Chain A
Amino acid sequence: MHIGTGMFYGEVLALLRRRSELVHPLVFLLIVVSLFPLALGGRQLLVTELAPVAVWVAALLASTLALSGMFRADYEAGMLDRLLLSRRSLTGLMWGKVAAYWLVSGLPLVLLSGLLGVLLQLPAAALQALVLTLLLGTPILTLLGAIIMALAVGVRDVGTLPPLLLLPLYVPVLVVACSAVSNALHGQPYLAELYFLGGLLLLSMALAPPATALSLRVRVCE
């Protein structure tokens, strides 16, 4: 059994019990996305054109919200010290944590995108591209988010600091994903963008969990 498996089950259970923490980011996403058509006043062409931007910007913001509690409860309960003292690999444990967070907060976001596509009146091809980019992109957001949330453990302005550190790191995902969906909207191929996102996903899967473990060590041991 993988080291992170126990962590994974435990986190999923804990997250399912803190239901508001899961649902609020999704509601936030829904509200932000619907702000765009409201502001555009029903200019349909513009709404469809801006749909990938609206969904992706909202997804970035929602993920900074959804991940903000990643280490808070553990920190307050003193669990982080126990994690660091455990003989098991901290990187493995972080794997379990990130996987749990993506399953419970990232995947619902992907599922919700079908509804968003209808809201923004996306054609089927573009909706398919949107779902694919979200499927490849949201795990990257969770992986990068874990590093920053670990760095922000125990800082004073925990509300504003993580988005400040995190959003610049999200830029490549945003750029490539929006380019893919907008290509699909105009009937262009977007396979190259998907490959690029896939490459980013693999890179962050390899580097982010050890970086998260390092961040926790740096923040908690000092």
Chain B
Amino acid sequence: MRVPWFIARYASAREFYVLTESWPLWLGLLGALLLVAGLYGGLVLAGPDALQGEVYRIIYVHVPSAWMSLFAYVCLALFGLVGLVWRTRVSLAAARACAPLGAAFTLLALLTGAIWGKPTWGAWWVWDARLSAELVLFFLYLGYMALQTAVPDPRAAARAGAVLALVGLVNVPIIHFSVEWWSTLHQGSTVSLFADSRIHISMLVPLLLMAGAFKCYFGAVLLMRMQAELLLLDRDRAWVLQQVSGTP
């Protein structure tokens, strides 16, 4: 399959680096703006929850990080797939850069969940379906990262990791449904694309703003990590020496 030129040009490490060098700054600024708006809307403007009072406000961190944990895994697998099919170094660098970020979001979702669980359920941790699925997702990230450190050559490691991430991607829904066999303590989803969300608009808007802020953060840090990875991969090429020494 022929890739259109405006995508294909990003496959060159040098082109990618030059084209995206300033993006993290703009994405970071946009993310900061969304973060301030979302936090103000969520912590100040939105009223307390009818059942949970003020405690529920942790959703503005918990839910976006849980969304991002899955989103980053899908990205990891898709970047890997593109890297396997088209053998592009940039997508392999993207996959490698994705893993620690996704693991961090998963850990954040687990930690904020524990902090939320203590006052509402009375326990830091319960073996409920969603928590277990998230924990296994965390293990999948750790496995990917372990494989990256075990294989010394970054390119070979990224290609092996791509296969692992694809196997994991098939497994993620299976894990989710298999742990659903247990009765679940976790509340059901309140935000849905396909049905009316069961959440008040004054809470939904800040939540979506926070989700946007998390996405921007993810994009900015992903690009920064990718740029560092590409510099490292091509450290003996002329373009890297030019970039680093600052001469045109």
Give chain A's interface residues, CB within 8 Å of chain B: 144, 147-148, 151-152, 155-157, 161, 164-165, 167-169, 171-172, 175-176, 179, 193, 196, 200, 203, 207, 211, 214-215, 218-219, 222
Contact = CB atoms under 8 A, between A and B. Distances in A.
Contacts, number: 77
Contact of A164 (B136, B146, B152, B163): B146
B139 A168 contact: yes
B156 A164 contact: no
A161 B163 contact: no
Contact of B151 (A148, A155, A203, A214): A155
Given A168-B171, A172-B179, 17 more contacts: A147-B167, A151-B164, A152-B150, A155-B150, A164-B146, A165-B146, A168-B136, A168-B140, A168-B168, A169-B171, A203-B170, A211-B167, A214-B163, A218-B84, A219-B156, A219-B160, A222-B156
* Minimum-distance CB pairs A-B, first 6: A172-B178, A222-B156, A168-B139, A165-B143, A155-B150, A218-B159
B160 A215 contact: yes
B126 interface: no
Interface in B173-191: 174-175, 177-179, 181
B107 to A, nearest CB: 15
Nearest to A153: B160
B167 A179 contact: no
Contacts of B156: 218-219, 222
A215 B163 contact: yes
Nearest to B129: A175
Contacts of B175: 168, 171-172
A144 B170 CA distance: 12
A183 B91 CA distance: 46
B168 A169 contact: yes
B163 A176 contact: no
Contacts of A165: 143, 146-147, 164
Contact of B163 (A157, A167, A193, A211): A211
